[in-house]
Amino acid sequence: MNTSILISLILIGLLAGFFSGTLGIGGSVVMIPLLILWVNFSQLEAQGTSLAVLAVPVTLLAAYNYYQEGYVNWKYAVIIAVCFIVGGYIGSKLAISINQALLKKIFGGVLLLVALKMISGK
């Protein structure tokens, strides 16, 4: 690993952590595009690495801050986490069988749809 890759990884981690703590985003919206653009990962390498980062409790302190202010519903979080595990397993099996060019288009399309929905406020 060279210095520019190390710096890119540090910046990606800091940006993903910052946006995760401030807006609740980080994995797919920040890490995946930056791993593709800055580290030249394939779509699948970026997705797999993003999931590996989230496999450890990296957002524990950010979640704790929200919890202290009364913004965490633990029952809902546990249900989502359990389902995330199942959905992540099924989704990863599907993703590795899809052509990466198509996967990039699907990923970009989903981000665009979410962005348009958020911007329009409907």
Domain span at 19: 3-120
CB atoms within 10 A of CB 19: 16
* Residue 31 CB-density burial (10 A; 0-12 exposed, 13-18 middle, 19+ buried): buried
The residues near 60 (Cβ < 8 Å, ≥ 6 apart) are none
Cα separation, 41 vs 22, in Å, equals 26
pLDDT in tens, 27-54: 678 888 889 899 999 888 888 888 888 7
Cα separation, 13 vs 32, in Å, equals 11
Domain count, the chain: 1
pLDDT in tens, 91-117: 888 888 989 899 889 888 888 988 898
Q: Does pLDDT of 57 surpass 80?
A: no
Cα separation, 62 vs 21, in Å, equals 5
Q: Answer whether 0.85 is exceeded by the pTM.
A: no
Cα separation, 34 vs 46, in Å, equals 9
Computed over every residue of the chain, the mean pLDDT equals: 85
